[in-house]
């Protein structure tokens, strides 16, 4: 760990907030007496399921695309994503009048693929277990003169995602409260890095926790090791949005400095959290978006007596899988 400058600052997040304000939804902080009673904490939920395109990813994508010079926009953009970043980039490109090509895994939820196409993007499918999505996207970018929009390891994307944390800090301050703990999920780590940067700037004593699917715990492993480490799992998880192999280089530079710990939740615990969100919160949350809530409900960290904020990062889930998960609990 060093004291070298971090890839983003709270000023970058403030700037991103101004860029996205006319287009992004400022999602509220919600409370639930049932969740407070269950956990013994004062819990607030940040429902990015209500965000444009159904996930927080629109924030970072729009901030990144807005940074592309006018002279380079005709070539369009290329992104690789299992779905939420794909939709964020596609919707942002549509707003800004830029062509978009998205490289998506063939096993991504059909709803995510179709919604990405619905925003006018071209979708190129690949096999996530045998093909390299970055190589495919890089080749397309070179051939077409398009700008590659990475899902997390980009300062503009990270700053855009950080507006989630900025809003959390502002809304709690307006209530006269300070967060003891803020928990958000991670795939490559852009969201949690941005949230940590924004929250720590205002509340340096707060504890920022990253939540991951069980066995896909590369952030937790990396935090313990003090260096980027891949997870060892070659299986599957219902949290399709959180399957990155290793934390990003830029994101881990932030997360190593600012995060307190990493926690996990099993697929079964994620399903329980999704069912709770449906029945008690009246919110549709996708598996990856529910992992932070699942970790709280499963007692993966000490929350009793504390003010806790949970980020529900997305709500894009196939209807059949969703019905199966909320009905089996």
Residue 328's pLDDT band (cuts 50, 70, 90): confident
Question: Which stretch of DSSP H or E encloses residue 31?
Answer: strand 30-31
Confidence band for 240, pLDDT divided at 50, 70 and 90: confident
Question: SS3 for 3?
Answer: coil
* Global pTM value: 0.95
Neighbour-count burial of 3, counting CB atoms closer than 10 A to its CB (0-12 exposed, 13-18 middle, 19+ buried): exposed
Q: Decide if pLDDT at 266 tops 60.
A: yes
Residue 111 pLDDT grade (very low, low, confident, very high; cuts 50, 70, 90): confident
Per-residue pLDDT, 224: 95
With 70 as the cut, is the pLDDT of residue 2 above it?
no
Alpha-carbon distance of 274 to 268, in angstroms, equals: 10
- Contact status, residue 90 vs residue 119, Cβ threshold 8 Å: yes
The CATH number assigned to the domain with range 10-55+155-327 reads: 3.40.50.1100
Query: Nearest-CA neighbor of 97 among 112, 75, 64?
Result: 75
**What's the whole-number average pLDDT of the chain?**
95
Q: How far apart are the first and last CA of the chain?
A: 43
pLDDT tens by residue, 191-232: 999 999 999 999 999 999 999 999 999 999 999 999 999 998
Same fold flag, 10-55+155-327 and 57-149: yes
Q: How is 90-153 classified by DSSP, letter by letter?
A: HHHHHHHT--EEEEEETTS-HHHHHHHHHTT-EEEEE-TTTS-HHHHHHHHHHHHTPEEE-SSS
How many CB atoms are closer than 10 A to CB 195?
33
How confident is the model over 114-137, as a mean pLDDT?
Answer: 92
pLDDT band at 159; cut points 50, 70, 90: very high
Query: CA 125 → CA 86, 136, 263, 286, distances in Å?
Result: 12, 10, 32, 21
* C-alpha distance from residue 170 to each of 104, 133, 156, 157, 198 (Å): 35, 37, 21, 21, 10
CB 148 within 8 A of CB 138: yes
Residue range 282-314, pLDDT digits in tens: 999 999 999 999 999 999 999 999 999 999 999
- Dihedral angle, C-alpha 31, 35, 37, 40, nearest 10 °: -90
For residue 220, the SS3 value is helix
Task: Answer for the pair 200, 166: CB distance below 8 angstroms, yes or no.
Answer: no
57-149 domain in CATH 3.30.70.260?
A: no
Long-range pairs for 231-236 at CB < 8 Å and ≥24 separation?
none
Q: Domain segments of the chain: what residues?
A: 10-55+155-327, 57-149
How much is the pLDDT for 329? 58
| Cβ-based neighbour number of residue 218 at 10 Å | 27
Q: State the pLDDT at residue 245.
A: 87
CB 312 within 8 A of CB 286: no
pLDDT bin (cut points 50, 70, 90) of residue 27 is very high
How does residue 233 score in pLDDT terms, banded at 50, 70 and 90?
Answer: confident
């Amino acid at each position: 760990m060093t004291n070298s400058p971090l890839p983003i600052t709270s000023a970058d997040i403030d700037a991103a907030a101004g860029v996205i304000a006319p287009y992004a939804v400022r999602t509220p902080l919600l409370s639930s007496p049932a969740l407070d009673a269950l956990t013994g904490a004062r819990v607030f939920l940040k429902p990015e399921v209500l965000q444009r395109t159904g996930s927080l990813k629109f924030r970072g994508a729009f901030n990144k695309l807005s940074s592309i010079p006018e002279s380079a926009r005709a070539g369009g953009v290329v992104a690789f994503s299992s779905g939420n970043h794909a939709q964020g980039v596609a919707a942002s490109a549509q707003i800004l009048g830029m062509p978009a090509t998205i490289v998506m895994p063939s096993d991504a939820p059909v709803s995510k693929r179709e919604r990405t196409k619905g925003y006018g993007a071209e979708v190129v499918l690949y096999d996530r277990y045998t093909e390299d999505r970055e190589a495919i996207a890089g080749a397309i970018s070179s051939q077409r003169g398009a700008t590659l929009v990475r899902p997390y390891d980009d300062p503009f994307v990270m700053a855009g995602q950080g507006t989630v944390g900025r809003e959390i800090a502002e809304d709690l301050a307006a209530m006269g409260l300070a967060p003891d703990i803020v928990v958000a999920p991670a795939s490559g780590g852009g969201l949690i890095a941005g949230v940590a940067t924004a929250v720590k700037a205002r509340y340096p004593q707060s504890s920022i926790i990253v939540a991951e699917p069980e066995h896909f715990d590369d952030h937790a492993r990396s935090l313990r090791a003090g260096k980027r480490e891949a997870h060892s799992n070659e299986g599957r998880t219902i949290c399709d949005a959180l399957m990155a192999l290793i934390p990003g280089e830029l994101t881990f530079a932030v997360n190593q400095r600012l995060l307190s710990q990493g926690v996990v939740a099993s697929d079964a615990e994620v399903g329980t959290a999704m069912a709770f969100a449906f029945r008690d919160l009246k919110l549709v949350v996708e598996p990856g978006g529910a992992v932070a809530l699942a970790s709280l409900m499963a007692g993966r960290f000490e929350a009793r007596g504390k003010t806790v904020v949970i980020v529900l990062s997305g709500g894009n889930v196939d209807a059949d899988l969703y019905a199966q998960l909320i009905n089996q609990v």
